[in-house]
Amino acid sequence: MTTVVESSQFARELRRWRGLRHWSQLDLAIATDTTQRYLSFLEQGRSRPGREMVVRLAESLGLTLRERNALLLSAGYAPAFDESGLDAPRLEPVRTALRSVLDGHQPYPAVIVSRHGIMIDANAAFGLFSEDCAPELLRPPVNVRRLALHPEGLAKRVLNLPEWGRHVTEAMRERLRISPDPEQEKLLAELESYLPAAKLGPGYLGFAVPLRLRSEAGELRLITTLTSFATATDISLAELHLEAFLPADEVTAGYLRDRR
């Protein structure tokens, strides 16, 4: 009975992930180096996959480490990846390296963010974005997405909020399309409710939409770069990413240098 339940659960999960990727059974079979017939049996719960096959399917579907563990569990196998927690002693070298990256990006803002948008660490220059924000938005755990788009957060100083704000929300929407998450879908709906209505041209989501920020020195213009830890084998590390801001013009660069 246990095998039947596990096969049924795995079959549902496999069909769900394939549907989210908009792949046919043949597409996935080719990517996983198996046959469409065998894949059909897996999706009907008529065959129970070996552990190696589950791993291959998860890799082919581009699942995150957390999602790969869940797929293994649905097939009745133990997870393959650890989730140590960022305060684990074995991740001390990683924490030190991340701190060095943040400090090395000075005088420009940079922040380490978790998969749910929670601030893990930031450099001193990130204070540029917290100026004049409501105190409740700055109480830990700080959600940097909410801090950015809330009317009492950074948003009231963003000169191009309709364009830049939707650049933020559309990036979230794209991640949710690939990896659904009810908690993040709820946050996305909240953030979208903060954005003003606007008539936007077809190019407003173009690469490197600048953040145009009002400051005491006039308009600042910054662009964002994102770095993830794609080769990580620990879930806690794999779900982090670095958001580093760079000046888009010399006026902004000079202002940030002088703030140090």
**What is the value of pTM for the model shown?**
0.86
How many Å from the N-terminal Cα to the C-terminal Cα in the chain?
A: 65
pLDDT digit string, tens, across residues 157-176: 999 999 999 999 999 999 99
Q: Tell the CATH topology of 2-74.
A: 434 Repressor (Amino-terminal Domain) (1.10.260)
**Strand residue runs (E) in the chain:** 110-113, 119-122, 211-215, 218-228, 241-247
Every domain of the chain and the residues it spans:
2-74, 89-258
**Is residue 188 a contact partner of residue 233, using CB atoms and an 8 Å limit?**
no
pLDDT digit string, tens, across residues 68-88: 999 999 999 999 999 988 888
**Is residue 245 a contact partner of residue 108, using CB atoms and an 8 Å limit?**
yes
Distance, CA of 177 to CA of 199 (rounded, Å): 24
Tell me the CATH number of domain 89-258, given options 3.30.450.180, 3.40.630.30, 3.40.50.300, 1.10.287.3610: 3.30.450.180
The two tokens of residue 117 are 């948008």
Place of tokens 């400090």: 103
Indicate if the alpha-carbon torsion angle 20, 23, 26, 32 is positive or negative. negative
Distance, CA of 211 to CA of 258 (rounded, Å): 19
- pLDDT tens-place values along the chain, 260 residues long: 444 445 689 999 999 999 999 999 999 999 999 999 999 999 999 999 999 999 999 999 999 999 999 999 999 999 999 998 888 888 898 889 999 999 999 999 999 999 899 999 999 999 999 999 999 999 999 999 999 999 999 999 999 999 999 999 999 999 999 999 999 999 999 999 999 987 766 655 555 689 999 998 899 999 999 888 767 789 989 999 999 999 999 999 999 999 87
* Residue 118: strand pairing partners: 143
CA 199 to chain centre: 27
